[in-house]
Amino acid sequence: MQSLKHHFLLAMPHLEDANFAGSLSYLCDHDDNGTMGVIVNRPLDLTLDALFEQLDLGGDDSPHCDAPVYYGGPVHKDRGFILHRGTASAWDSSIQVAEDIALTTSMDMLQALADGRGPEQFLVCLGCAGWEAGQLEGELMENAWLTVEGSAQILFDTPPEQRLQAAAGSLGVDLNLMSREAGHS
């Protein structure tokens, strides 16, 4: 099995599950035990400023106050998952996903962001997406998803509403031209 870690998972137009329709997920872990990622194109009606306030972290002067918080997926919706540039070694509860992309789930990162420190490029997500062993592979065989290698530029430099099309474009695909009917060969 080829690992899909550091890959985008693009929802096909016919995928109607409310949690994933129109979504772009970034896969942070994929092995024989299952798959974990975060949806990266669904900003919530919540900013970091409000999150800092809810968690009593201060942050009134943080340059990150206006950054959106994202819906990361239907699993662990009460937990924060911070996808960021850099290495995991600087933070508690972190994993290195790609050479320059890590995922952190610890409060030290949120506190650093509230204090105006931390990485320059990041996405704070509430919740994550998870698939049991073999589940994602089955959904891929059902043509529910497209996959393409992940890109820091799409994650951090592309506006959220353009990320799905940008990822599809890196495959030479325009999702707007695809049929809503799933095909099988």
C-beta of residue 106 within 8 angstroms of C-beta of residue 146: no
Q: Report in angstroms the alpha-carbon separations of 106 from 22, 81, 92, 139, 183.
A: 29, 8, 6, 31, 42
Q: Is 167 helix (H, G, I), strand (E, B) or coil?
A: helix
The per-residue pLDDT for range 110-150, each reduced to its tens digit, is: 999 999 888 999 999 999 999 999 999 999 999 999 999 99
- The confidence score (pLDDT) of residue 1 equals 65
**Percent share of the chain, pLDDT over 70:** 95
Whether the per-residue pLDDT at 100 is higher than 50: the answer is yes
- The confidence score (pLDDT) of residue 110 equals 92
The pTM score is 0.92
**Which amino acid makes up residue 71?**
Y
Q: What is the average pLDDT across 12-26?
A: 94
- The confidence score (pLDDT) of residue 36 equals 98
Q: Please give the CATH architecture assigned to the domain spanning 7-179.
A: 3-Layer(aba) Sandwich (3.40)
Q: What is the average pLDDT across 86-103?
A: 91
Between strands 75-85 and 94-98, the pairing is unpaired
Question: In terms of C-beta distances under 8 Å and separation of at least 24 residues, what long-range contacts does 60-69 make, across chains too?
Answer: 61/116, 62/113, 62/114, 62/115, 62/116, 63/116, 64/113, 64/114, 64/116, 64/118, 67/122, 67/124, 68/43, 68/44, 68/160, 69/43, 69/44, 69/124, 69/125, 69/126
Whether the per-residue pLDDT at 184 is higher than 60: the answer is no
Neighbours of 29 (CB within 10 A): 18
C-beta of residue 181 within 8 angstroms of C-beta of residue 14: yes
C-beta of residue 104 within 8 angstroms of C-beta of residue 91: yes
Neighbours of 138 (CB within 10 A): 11
Q: With residue 50 as reference, give the H or E element that holds it.
A: helix 48-54
Cβ-Cβ contacts under 8 Å for 65 (sequence gap 6 or more):
47, 48, 49, 52, 59
**What is the token pair recorded at 41?**
């194109």
Q: How far is it, in rounded angstroms, from Cα 129 to Cα 20?
A: 9
